[in-house]
Amino acid sequence: MIKKKFGMISLGCDKNRVDGERLLGEVKAHGCEITDDPSEAEILIVNTCAFLNAARKEAIETVLECNGYRSGKLEKLVVSGCLPEKYVDELFAPLTEADVFLGINDANVLFEALERSYRGERVNGVRSCQNPVPATRVLTTVPHLAYLKIADGCANHCTYCLIPKIRGKYRSYPMEDLVEEAKGLGQIDELILVAQDTTRYGIDLYGNNQFVNLIKKISKLDNICHIRLLYCYPEMISEELIEEIKRNKKVLHYLDIPLQHSEDRILKRMGRRGTRQSYLSLFERLRKEIPDLAIRTTFISGFPSEKEEEHVALKRFLGEANLTNCGFFAYSREPDTPAYGMAEQVHHATKGRRVRELYAVQAEISRTYLQAYVGKTLEVVCDGIDYEKSCFVGRAFFQAPEIDGVVYFTSPRAETGKRYQIVVDSADEYDLYGHTEESYELT
């Protein structure tokens, strides 16, 4: 039986993080030690992303760098996740630095594959687990925060996206399993529901949408204090969901709604079902029902044939939509997607300029939003200490971890995972700065 010290480097999105945590759950279940220092690991797992060419490049470079630990304690190198799931046939022979390849659902065969490797075999274990059993996860987030992946795959088939080719069709996880998983995470201040499209949850499994029902069931758990919703597709945001966010005290007033563009012609070429007007109407409806709702989204700039006037129109849309937070990405031309062969590919320099201009427009919108909190008191969860700034760091309801800004605050003391009333002293375009009141602890 393998009794080694394991380490992991996990790349990519929060959904990939959950897959990595399942792998670590297998490690823990086998009684093996886990270290966060790669140089101390005897077996090192690189959990990869393959969504974009830049992510694939980063993944391979990370594998090559990790191979350097063989001069120390490293004995075996495992490559898992999206990269081998999609590209193992191309990578298995040349990427000899890796001893074991596993796909996105192969956590259950990790130790079987390692045993074969210790017998001298290079192992391609991708898609070898026919009926994966969810493993107990080892959280890699701060202790009071966790992600819950409620489905895998995607049913949207956007023309720029590889996800359906990597993770397959949309598959909701059984509700009872998700509730048990959430219950087993321990005391969690903030549970973040994720999937490629959370708002589609249950249609494939139950014949009708069960997203609101899932939220209600998780809300009943005593160990879950707050729930954040990510990746809610605009056309799937129902009146029932709006009412649940409005009524349910555990659901944070925050929605991540991926739009990708504002202009109808580009949206149609992307394979998106929304329109500029439908998006603006949705935001108007949401804000009417939930006035303090924070809305975050992402946009792709420089999609094939995007004209300069459509870029300018997207900048105007930002002003009209008045979004809380936005992410902007230059279109990445990915082989094996319909958009790869589209005519009128936009030059990389033009894409870069457009992304910078979009960020500049949104920065002023975000600054105005944050400035409105100066002089007010805001509830903030403490995520830890920023030693460079010599203060505590936390997040308000409108700040999701790692993708939005933070609140830096001073206090005589603060405990990670606790919530505090913060008096906001100043703001910039991303972050808030403040201090605790004299009677400052909430929970």
Which residue, 349, 371, 393, sits at the end of a domain? 371
Q: Which domain holds residue 413?
A: 377-441
Instruction: Mark whether 226 and 339 lie in a shared domain.
Output: yes
Q: Which of 215, 138, 207 is nearest to 178 (CA)?
A: 215
The total domain count for the chain is 3
Instruction: Mark whether 384 and 355 lie in a shared domain.
Output: no
Instruction: Mark whether 353 and 398 lie in a shared domain.
Output: no
pLDDT band at 2 (very low <50, low <70, confident <90, very high): confident
CATH number of the domain that residue 429 is part of = 2.40.50.140
- Compute the CA torsion angle 185, 125, 98, 59 (nearest 10 deg): -60
Instruction: Mark whether 196 and 257 lie in a shared domain.
Output: yes
Which range (132-141, 209-218, 311-320, 426-435) has the least confidence? 132-141
In a domain, 139, yes or no: no
Instruction: Mark whether 184 and 243 lie in a shared domain.
Output: yes
CA-to-CA distance for 82 and 15, rounded, in angstroms? 11
User: What per-residue confidence (pLDDT) applies to 10?
Assistant: 94
Average pLDDT of the residues in 363-368: 96
In a domain, 137, yes or no: no
Which residue, 323, 340, 371, sits at the end of a domain? 371
Instruction: Mark whether 221 and 240 lie in a shared domain.
Output: yes
Which residue, 57, 91, 124, sits at the end of a domain? 124
- What's the Rg (C-alpha) of the chain? 22
DSSP 47: E
In a domain, 130, yes or no: no
In a domain, 129, yes or no: no
Instruction: Mark whether 281 and 361 lie in a shared domain.
Output: yes
Q: In the chain, what's the furthest Cα-to-Cα distance?
A: 65
Percentage helix, strand, coil, to 5, in the chain?
35, 25, 40
- Residue located via tokens 């349910």: 248
In a domain, 135, yes or no: no
User: What per-residue confidence (pLDDT) applies to 128?
Assistant: 87
H or E element, residue 228: strand 224-229
Instruction: Mark whether 65 and 81 lie in a shared domain.
Output: yes
CATH number of the domain that residue 363 is part of = 3.80.30.20
In a domain, 229, yes or no: yes
CA-to-CA distance for 440 and 372, rounded, in angstroms? 21
User: What per-residue confidence (pLDDT) applies to 442?
Assistant: 53
Instruction: Mark whether 56 and 167 lie in a shared domain.
Output: no
Q: DSSP letters along 92-105, please?
A: TTT-TT-SEE--TT
Instruction: Mark whether 73 and 208 lie in a shared domain.
Output: no
User: What per-residue confidence (pLDDT) applies to 441?
Assistant: 53
Q: With a cut of 70, say whether residue 366 has pLDDT above it.
A: yes
Instruction: Mark whether 293 and 437 lie in a shared domain.
Output: no
In a domain, 136, yes or no: no
Instruction: Mark whether 339 and 268 lie in a shared domain.
Output: yes
391-395 contact pairs (CB < 8 A, 24+): 394/420, 394/422
